[in-house]
Amino acid sequence: MLDLNDILETEQQVLQLAAENGPYDGILGYSQGATLAAQVLIQNAHETGHIPNRERPFKFAIFFNGATPSRVFKVASKPAPIVPDLTQPLALKFLHAMKANPLLGSTCLYPAEHPAGSGRQILTDGTLGMMKCDAALDGKLIRLPTLHVRCQTDEAEHGEELYNLCEANVAEQYFHIHKHDFPRGYNEMREIARLIRETAERACEL
C-alpha cells in the first residue's frame, strides 16, 4: 500500500545523506529509482528556491526509463473526498495506488481536490497530499543538467513526462529500443557513458 509518510521520509533521508556526506556530482536512477531521484531534486528545489546549481546537493541527474514523479506535501486542513472520474487515466492510477494493505485490509488514502482550488486532483490521507507532477501545470521543476535514457515508443509516463519537467536547454535524451528494460550492448553502453560524461561536464560549466 502507498504510504505518503514513507515517501516524504525517504526523500528527506536522501537529502540528509547528501547534506552530511555530499555534495555529490550527480544522482542516477532506473525506473522507480529515477522517479525517486527526480522527486528528491524537486523537493530540494521547492525547499531552497532558485539557488545556483553548484550549491545544490547534486549537480546533474541521469534518468533511465524514469516514471513521472509526484510531489508529497502537507495539507493545512483535511480535504473533502471526491468521487473520481473513472474515464480519466489519472483517476484509474489513483484507484490503483489506493489499494488496501493486504495485511490490514484497509487504506487511509482517498481522492480529493487540491487545496489551492485549481480543480487538480490529489490523493490524501487527510494530513499529507500527493499530486502527479505535470509540466503543463507546474512548468520546469528540474533546472540542472539531465540525461534521459528512454524508449521513445514506451508510454509517456515512463520517460517523456519526466523529460518535459526538466529545463530543455540543459537536458539531453538518448533513445533505445528495449521498452522499459535497461538498454544493453557494448556500443550502446559506450554511447550512454559518453553522454553521462557530457552531462557531468555541462554541470561543471554552470
- For the domain that residue 53 is a member of, what is the CATH number? 3.40.50.1820
Query: Cα separation of 132 and 109, whole Å?
Result: 15
Q: What are phi and psi of 113, to 5 degrees?
A: -85, 150
Same-domain check for residues 118 and 103: yes
Same-domain check for residues 17 and 101: no
DSSP letters along 140-205, please?
--B-S-EEEEEETTS-GGGTHHHHHTB-GGGEEEEEESSTTSPP-SHHHHHHHHHHHHHHHHHHHH
Pairing, β 121-124 against β 58-64: unpaired
- What are the tens digits of pLDDT across the range 33-56? 999 999 999 999 999 988 888 899
For the chain, percent of residues with pLDDT exceeding 90: 66
Could you tell me the residue range of the domain that residue 157 belongs to?
4-69+135-205
Same-domain check for residues 153 and 192: yes
Same-domain check for residues 63 and 78: no
Same-domain check for residues 95 and 169: no
Same-domain check for residues 145 and 59: yes
**What is the count of structural domains for the chain?**
2
Higher per-residue confidence, 54 vs 167: 167
- What are the tens digits of pLDDT across the range 54-112? 899 999 999 999 999 999 999 988 988 888 766 666 655 655 655 555 555 556 888 89
